[in-house]
Amino acid sequence: MKGQSSIELVTYLAIGILITILFLLVLQPYERDIITERKAILAKEMLWRVTAELNGAASVGDGYSRLFTLPNSLSDGTNYSIRIDSEYQVVQIFWGDSEGAYGLPIATSNVTGSFVIGVNRITNSDGLITVEAA
């Protein structure tokens, strides 16, 4: 009797472990998708912030000057870069190792300079928006 109950216990434990492993294997692709989507959301939030700064400078007009800081990475530690394309009136963010990119339109094409990680200065002088490291 003791031998039979020991074998049953080991069998049930093995089945439980097998089910757990199968469950984790099935969920792994979904977890990867969730992490990728989370990075995209964080990047888009950063881009919205940058775009709001540029559009604010354009709407306030001549004499606008403001300092703001871009963090070293997104809040989950992902690296990113921001690029201004004045020709198409868009600001773009690229994150990770070519993991993704996203762009948002801006109110004016009169933008010069580029964003840097750290402190940036945005100024509006006679309708020309300038972005530079502070």
Q: Considering its fold, how many domains does the chain have in total?
A: 1
What is the pLDDT, as a whole number, of residue 111? 93
Mean pLDDT in residue range 41-63: 94
* Residue 5 pLDDT greater than 90, yes or no: no
Mean pLDDT (the chain) is 92
Mean pLDDT in residue range 86-93: 92
The structure's pTM equals: 0.77
What is the pLDDT, as a whole number, of residue 58? 93
Q: 104 falls in which pLDDT band (50, 70, 90)?
A: very high
Q: Which domain holds residue 125?
A: 2-133
Question: Could you tell me where the beta strands, DSSP code E, fall in the chain?
Answer: 65-70, 80-85, 90-95, 100-105, 111-113, 118-125, 128-133
The tens digit of pLDDT for each residue in 23-33 reads 999 888 888 88
DSSP for 67-78 reads EEEE-SS-TTS-
pLDDT-above-90 percentage for the chain: 72
Q: 1 falls in which pLDDT band (50, 70, 90)?
A: low
Q: Is 58 left (phi over 0), alpha (psi -120 to 50) or beta?
A: alpha
